[in-house]
Structure 1
C-alpha cells in the first residue's frame, strides 16, 4: 500500500450506536469511508448513520460489499451474533476487520475467526471502547508502566449500564428486540464484561488467565427473562487476580449512562478511574485518582490523547497489530465466552 493513500473502509452492520465512534475514529485517523450495508436498513442506528454520512454509498447486499475489491477494512457493529460471520467473510475476502465488542458470541465463532486470521494473514480487532476510547484509562496504563504503583496484583472493574440510555438507542424509543434475546447478544458477560476482562489482561500484563467463577442473573426484569441484567466474574492469572461486575441497573438520577469505575491495585499504591462521572464532585468524566507512598493525587485526563484508531490505520499499512495484539484479543474473548458459558444462573434469567 502506498503510504500517501488513505486506507479505505466500509461499514457492514449498523445495529449498535458504537458504530458512530468507530467510523468517526477511522475518519479522524485518515481513513476514507467508502460504503455501508446492513441487514436491517430500518434500524434506528442505521438510519442515523445514513443521515450523518449522506455522501457515503449504501449497498443493499452486505455480502457484496464485503467481497468488493479496493476496500482495506470492514468495520462492524452488527447485531452481536452476526459479527463473527461478518468477520470471517471479510477476513477471507482479504480485509482486516474492526468489530464492536463483543466480537463474537460463541466459542465456535471464535474458533472460526482464529482459523480465518491464521489462514489469511489479516487481523481481527475488537473495539473495547471502555479502554480504547477513555482517556483516563490510557493515562492509567502509562502510570502503571512507569512503575508508579509497583507491581499490579489485582484489578476491580465495574460496568453499570442503563437500558434506556438515549445515546445508545440511536434515536429509537426503546431497545430493539435482539437486546432481549440472549442467543443474539451473547449474554451480559460476553456483551459487557469483555471490556473489563480486556482491562484485566492489559493492566496486569497477563497473556492468559482462568475463570475461577462467574454468575449471571435477572433480578429487575422478570418480564424479560432473555435479558441478563447482572453478571460477575472472578479471574486469576499466574501473577494477578481480577473481579468484574456488570449490570443494567443505572438509576435515572445519574447524569450519564453508567458510573463505570476501574481500580488497579499495586504493591506500592493504587489507581482509581471514574470514567464517566465523579459523584457530587468535578464536572465531566475521565477522573483519575492515584495513591502512593507520597500521598494522594488527582489527574484530570480529559485532554489525554487516544491512539487506537491511528494505530489501526498504521497496522493496516505495516501489517502489525500495535492497536491490540491479536493474541490478546483472542484471549479476551475466550475468557468472556468461557465465563458466560460456565456461569451460574440466578433469578429470572434463562
Structure 2
C-alpha cells in the first residue's frame, strides 16, 4: 500500500537555503501546499518556482491548518527557534535551516517543548545531508573502511559576496556569530563521524580581520572539540577568493585507526572537475571515488520519521547537541585582535 503523503509548508524565505530544503522534500515525495513570508521581494523570487503552493495571508493560517504535517523555515536565524517552538506547540514537525538556534536560551526552551510534545525539531545540515561525498563517507565509515574514527578536521570557507547580503547578515544578535552559523555544519559532522554522544568545547576563537567597517561581523572562527568517542578541529571563514569557481572549498578529513578519508566537497583545486570528490587511503592503496551518483536519504528518512515517529534521519539528541556545541563555542570564544 502507498504511504500517506506528507503535506508541508514554508514560513520564512530569508536565506536561499530554503530552495534546497523545499527541493529535497519534493524529491522525497512530499506535497508542498502553502507558504508565508513578510517580504514582497522574497515572495516575488520564490513563488514562480513552486506554482503548486499557494501564498498564505498570515503565519497563523498555516499553523492552524490541521492538514499540514511539517513546516520548514529559512527565516532570519534569530527567528527560527521561536517559530519552531510555536510549530511544535501546534502539533506539527519542524525543519530549520542552519543554525536552528542563536542562543542557549532558545535551545533550552526548544528542548523542553520538544520533550513535552514529542514533535520533531530537525535542522537541515546540508553539508552532510545534501552532499553526496559526505553521505558516501558515512557509508564507508560505518562499514569499517578506516577502522575506528578518532578525529575529524572540518573546514568551512565561504565567499562573502558583501553586496548581496541583507542587513541582518551584519548584526550579531540576528545571525548569531560565525561559529553559531557556519560551524554548526562541522559540529554535526564531528558528532556523526566520531559517533560521539557527549562532547565539550576545549577552545574557540573568532576574529574580524578583513571587514572593520562591519564591527559585528566575524570573518574567522576556529574550535577544538573533544567528544566521548573522538576529537575534532573546526575552521570557518569568509575569505574564499573570487578566483575559485565555487562559493567555498569545503573539506573534511576523517582520521581512523586503519586509514583516512578526505572529502573535497565542492571542488578539487587544480584537479578533477565538478563536486563530490572522496579520497580513501588505507593499508592497501589510495582510492578515489566519484560520488556524484550517491543517493541522498535525508528527505526520505525525515518523511518516514514523521509518519512513524522514529529517528532515522537524525536523532533529536544529536540535533540539539550539535547546536549546543556551536552555541557554547561561540559564547566562550576568545576574540582575536587585528593582524
Secondary structure in structure 1 of the residue aligned to 2:161: coil
C-alpha contact 2:197 2:228 (8 A) present in aligned 1: no
| Distance (whole Å) between structure 1 residues aligned to residue 4 and residue 202 of structure 2 | 47
Aligned to 1:268: 258
Secondary structure in structure 1 of the residue aligned to 2:10: strand
**Relative to structure 2, which stretch is displaced further, 257-266 or 143-152?**
143-152
- Aligned ranges 1:12-23 → 2 under 5 Å: 12-23=11-22
| Distance (whole Å) between structure 2 residues aligned to residue 47 and residue 218 of structure 1 | 34
- Tell me the number of residue pairs that the alignment of Structure 1 and Structure 2 aligns: 338
Aligned to 2:194: 204
C-alpha contact 1:125 1:326 (8 A) present in aligned 2: yes
- Aligned ranges 1:3-14 → 2 under 5 Å: 4-14=3-13
| Distance (whole Å) between structure 1 residues aligned to residue 108 and residue 235 of structure 2 | 26
Secondary structure in structure 1 of the residue aligned to 2:12: strand
| Distance (whole Å) between structure 1 residues aligned to residue 325 and residue 2 of structure 2 | 37
Assess, with a 3 A threshold, how the Cα gap between structure 1 residues 263 and 294 changes in structure 2: closer, same or farther: same
Aligned to 1:169: none
Secondary structure in structure 2 of the residue aligned to 1:42: helix
* 2:97 alignment partner, one of 97, 100, 125: 100
Aligned to 1:176: 166
**Superposed displacement of residue 69, structure 1:** 1.8
Aligned to 2:45: 48
Aligned to 2:111: 114
Aligned to 2:215: 225
**Superposed displacement of residue 3, structure 1:** 5.4
Does 2:160 match 1:191?
Answer: no
Aligned to 1:125: 122
Aligned to 1:36: 35
4+ residue runs over 6 A deviation: none
C-alpha contact 1:235 1:242 (8 A) present in aligned 2: yes
C-alpha contact 2:32 2:52 (8 A) present in aligned 1: no
* 2:326 alignment partner, one of 311, 333, 336: 336
| Distance (whole Å) between structure 2 residues aligned to residue 321 and residue 18 of structure 1 | 23
C-alpha contact 2:33 2:52 (8 A) present in aligned 1: no
| Distance (whole Å) between structure 2 residues aligned to residue 116 and residue 41 of structure 1 | 32
* C-alpha RMSD of the superposition: 1.3
| Distance (whole Å) between structure 2 residues aligned to residue 143 and residue 133 of structure 1 | 17
TM-score by length of 2: 0.97
- Aligned ranges 1:261-340 → 2 under 5 Å: 261-340=251-330
Unaligned runs of 5+ in 2: none
Unaligned runs of 5+ in 1: 166-172
Secondary structure in structure 1 of the residue aligned to 2:164: coil
Does 2:262 match 1:245?
Answer: no
C-alpha contact 1:67 1:90 (8 A) present in aligned 2: no
**Superposed displacement of residue 63, structure 1:** 3.0
| Distance (whole Å) between structure 2 residues aligned to residue 198 and residue 55 of structure 1 | 33
| Distance (whole Å) between structure 1 residues aligned to residue 40 and residue 139 of structure 2 | 41
TM-score by length of 1: 0.94
| Distance (whole Å) between structure 2 residues aligned to residue 120 and residue 156 of structure 1 | 36
